[in-house]
Structure 1
Amino acid sequence: MTSRGTLLRVLGVGFGLAVTIGNTVGAGILRTPGEVAAQLPHTALFLAVWVIGGIYALLGAVSLSELGAAIPRSGGYYVFAHRAFGDFAGFVVGWTDWLAQCGSLAATAIVVGEYVCDLAPALGGRHTHVALATVAIVSLLQARGIRWGSFVQNASSAAKALVFALLLLAFFAWAPPRTDPTVPLALPSEPMPLAVAMLIALQAVIYTYDGWYGVIYFGEEVRAPARDVPRSMIGGVLSIMALYLLVNAALVRVVPVEGLAGQTLAMGTATHRVFGERGAVILRVVAIVSMISAINAYQLMGSRTPLAMGRDRLLPEAFTRVNEGGTPALGLLCSAGAAALFILTGSFQQIAAVMAFFFVANYVMAFLAVFVLRRREPRLPRPYRAWGYPYTTGLALLVSVAFLIAAVLGDPRNSVSSLLVLAASYPVYRLVRRFG
């Protein structure tokens, strides 16, 4: 691949919306409603927690839009952490974010492989081969250039929106009347247990909203970042909020909220109610279309972070090479290789569990960066300034810190592993600084 040393500024707000939706809407919305219903088996509270989660994502989008418009560099969270906190913090955020992207890519590809094999029994359960082939095909398309990657993202996100629209139409228009008797589940009578149930449900909802920041990985490839980055993030969050509320309203129309409680695949329960035995096939088609879009987004994003780190001399210079199509060649290759390794070893599940700590920590670092850069660089041109600052950013930061504490308390074993990864990062960082 020929080195040009530069990315191509060819992306618009359409791509920004597509990568936001593609990176966010995936398997989570198919399964999370069952987890939320188990905590809040009351229709009003069940729907309200999705609104609250959306407002949190909107506050985050408002805040990060300021950074994305003021510092239009490709590379995601790493760019902001490095600018605000220096080399070591940037290094930790960069490589853990990249690892999380690769783990998510592997996990999603495995699910695609399983669903494809379910639909095509002739494949004989070769879901690992299908997963590897999916990663390889997406990587080869992206290797041709960002225009190809953008086309796949736009097309797959449009297909995702279409299949969800058709599914919602069926749920609202053709769902049979509910006739099954259900036993209403009691909510906790004490304020504190109810608050705990709300927090647990909100944690699951926020995970399902994760991905709204996708466009920040492409800052210098967006034609008008001052305008298109805020539009992509804020417009993307509003679109996802509308979709999630419609999906959950449709679910409770088809199945009472008590019937959704504890379902590992709530959407499957609803599709079976509407379509009968064909519901399983329809659900798998919806899931595959949704996940192809997510896989393309993970791979696009994962290839940009090593590029930005290489430019700041935190990775070898080879990572800065960009081919004629505007693709970071080595970053793409390493992301595909890491995902393939995770698929073959099955280690993506452990990676995902350990990286959950850093997933929340990156939120905290990004919102802190807004405060730090406002104070340290008051003259930095800010084409978009966070609405309601410092209150909106401060609220997003406080919720993120609470979310981080809940993640540590809820999974202490993997949190310890995450802290060990953090401790091991320093000697690796010193080696990179010395020999890089």
Structure 2
Amino acid sequence: MTDNAQPGHPPGKLLQVLGVAFGLAVLVGNTIGMGILRTPGEIAAQVPSVPWFMGVWVAGALYALLGALTVSELVAMRPRSGGLYPLVRHGLGPYPGFVVGWSDWLSTSGSIAAVAIVLGEYAGPLVPALAGREKAIACTVVFGFGLLQWRGIRLGDLAQQATSLAKALALVGLALFALLLAKPQAPATVATTAPLLPPGLALVGAVIVAMQSAIYTYDGWTGPVYFSEELADPARDIPRTMIGGVLLVMTIYLLLNAAFLHVIPIREMAGDPFVAATAAARMFGPAGDTVLRIVMVLSLVASVNALVLMASRVPFAMSRDRLLPAILQRVNAGGTPVPALWASIALALGLILTNTFASVVAMLAFMFVANYAVTFATFFVMRRRQPQAPRPFRVPLYPLVPALALLGSLAFIAASLASDTRNSLYALLLVAVSWPVYRLFRRGPAAAQAHD
């Protein structure tokens, strides 16, 4: 496979060959992971009431939907692959764009490593010969997806659609089995200290904490934005994939939570660190662990592929705007930004082998929502700066929708600073020291001009 572009596709030009099915697949693959199988116990501990519990999941989807509507307008105006980075760079300038892109690339690569390690942990017991080889499995999976995507975006597209479909079918199948075939379980002995729904202002605080968990579980709805200029009709496809994808994820989450509640009383669910494992054991008995591990492997494979695809687009876009070394903008005949791909793979492998991925993900989790807040602020800047610019998609109920998205992000940032002060401050320190890194990589005055 040569790195030279085919005729009609000059170096640095991605192929516009993706469709709505890919957008939905990458959103589902990027969003649905371990969270939905672990988070229900955290939320039930805060709001041990079925209506409030399910309401928190709906509210988390609403926040994601507000963000998807807001970002869709920006992307439809100016489709550029690379995640939120091109939007912020165009609206606020090179340095804010650099901070968003740099933190996004580091955290996405860290997520590749983290998900691959968990995949290794779940796959090992299924194949006894692989037991205790989590790092080897993780590195093999990541490198394997790198080789697959090196061939071209069409293979990456097929892999993402296949793995995300398998994930969705496995999760929905698990939920339907619980709802239709499993018998409701009578509550086991519950301690007299089982949590009650808190009253008054305490309930407000509990809902806010529960919302934090739900929002983390919905994080990933920006997946299609990383491939904006590779979609066949981005002005139409981005809103459809973002909005449809969030609604699809919400449907799967509500089905799964309804299934968990069917076999586990909410008082028992509260505080359970792995609700899905408890549910599987009650539905399948001794075989529950094996069933759950198979579901998890299917789920995590789709996540790794999506994250590898996404990670490569960020340094590619930054290089094209002269904010990273020029080699990272090279694209091969198959539409893959090869140097950016292998740089992302190398970073993920390094984090796996040095066992530092958990620290990177924890530190930069704060930056995910901070980047959303910056992007929503960019929306208002662009509305004011270019009020007459063509907008193939316009946010409904302006300015209410983007304002709520921005306020929700700011509230989440404040909560993160309070609940995880150490890692949040580390993330802010990373922003503070990013200026010399930005000056090191920025290549000449052309970096001040947005790539068109």
My pick for the range that moved more, 408-417 or 186-195, is 186-195
Q: How many angstroms apart in 1 are the aligned matches of 2:230 and 2:443? A: 31
Per-residue deviation, 1:433: 2.4
Partner of 1:2: 3
Work out the number of aligned pairs and report it: 436
Q: How many angstroms apart in 2 are the aligned matches of 1:433 and 1:144? A: 30
Q: How many angstroms apart in 2 are the aligned matches of 1:254 and 1:365? A: 42
Listed as ranges, the matches of 1:30-41 within 5 Å are 30-41=37-48
One-letter amino acid of the counterpart of residue 363, structure 1: Y
Partner of 2:201: 192
Partner of 2:170: 163
Q: How many angstroms apart in 1 are the aligned matches of 2:400 and 2:189? A: 43
Partner of 2:127: 120
Does residue 316 (structure 1) correspond to residue 294 (structure 2)? The answer is: no
Per-residue deviation, 1:122: 1.5
Listed as ranges, the matches of 1:300-339 within 5 Å are 300-339=309-348
| 8 Å CA contact retained: 2:187, 2:268 | no
Cα RMSD, aligned residues only = 1.3
Q: How many angstroms apart in 1 are the aligned matches of 2:188 and 2:282? A: 14
Partner of 1:43: 50
Does residue 104 (structure 1) correspond to residue 111 (structure 2)? The answer is: yes
| 8 Å CA contact retained: 1:182, 1:258 | no
Partner of 2:450: none
Deviations 1:42-91 (A, max 9, x none): 11111110011111111111111111211111001101110111011011
Q: How many angstroms apart in 2 are the aligned matches of 1:415 and 1:238? A: 30
| 8 Å CA contact retained: 2:224, 2:242 | yes
Does residue 400 (structure 1) correspond to residue 401 (structure 2)? The answer is: no
Does residue 175 (structure 1) correspond to residue 182 (structure 2)? The answer is: yes
Q: How many angstroms apart in 2 are the aligned matches of 1:97 and 1:189? A: 37
Per-residue deviation, 1:138: 0.6
Per-residue deviation, 1:110: 0.1
Deviations 1:171-196 (A, max 9, x none): 01221232234548443543221111
Partner of 1:152: 159
Secondary structure of the corresponding residue to residue 276 of structure 1: helix
Does residue 65 (structure 1) correspond to residue 72 (structure 2)? The answer is: yes
Partner of 1:410: 419
Q: How many angstroms apart in 1 are the aligned matches of 2:332 and 2:301? A: 24
| 8 Å CA contact retained: 2:198, 2:206 | no
Q: How many angstroms apart in 2 are the aligned matches of 1:254 and 1:325? A: 48
| 8 Å CA contact retained: 2:322, 2:443 | no
Listed as ranges, the matches of 1:339-378 within 5 Å are 339-378=348-387
Q: How many angstroms apart in 2 are the aligned matches of 1:172 and 1:189? A: 29
Percent sequence identity is 50
Q: How many angstroms apart in 2 are the aligned matches of 1:102 and 1:310? A: 17
Q: How many angstroms apart in 2 are the aligned matches of 1:345 and 1:431? A: 26
Q: How many angstroms apart in 2 are the aligned matches of 1:386 and 1:3? A: 40
Secondary structure of the corresponding residue to residue 29 of structure 1: helix
Secondary structure of the corresponding residue to residue 405 of structure 2: helix
Deviations 1:87-125 (A, max 9, x none): 110111001000010000000000011111111122241
1:163 to 1:434, Cα distance in 2 relative to 1, 3 A: closer
Gap regions ≥5 residues in structure 2: 6-10, 448-452
Deviations 1:270-327 (A, max 9, x none): 0100000111011111111111111111010100011111111101111110001000
Secondary structure of the corresponding residue to residue 442 of structure 2: helix
| 8 Å CA contact retained: 2:142, 2:349 | yes
Does residue 78 (structure 1) correspond to residue 85 (structure 2)? The answer is: yes
When normalised by structure 1's length, the TM-score is 0.98
Per-residue deviation, 1:241: 0.8
One-letter amino acid of the counterpart of residue 161, structure 1: A
Aligned match for 1:280, one of 262, 284, 289? 289
My pick for the range that moved more, 159-168 or 278-287, is 159-168
One-letter amino acid of the counterpart of residue 209, structure 2: I
1:422 to 1:281, Cα distance in 2 relative to 1, 3 A: same
1:189 to 1:361, Cα distance in 2 relative to 1, 3 A: closer
One-letter amino acid of the counterpart of residue 329, structure 2: T
Partner of 1:388: 397
Listed as ranges, the matches of 1:422-433 within 5 Å are 422-433=431-442
Q: How many angstroms apart in 1 are the aligned matches of 2:246 and 2:339? A: 31
Partner of 2:8: none
Q: How many angstroms apart in 2 are the aligned matches of 1:345 and 1:303? A: 21
Partner of 1:56: 63
One-letter amino acid of the counterpart of residue 12, structure 1: G
One-letter amino acid of the counterpart of residue 34, structure 1: G
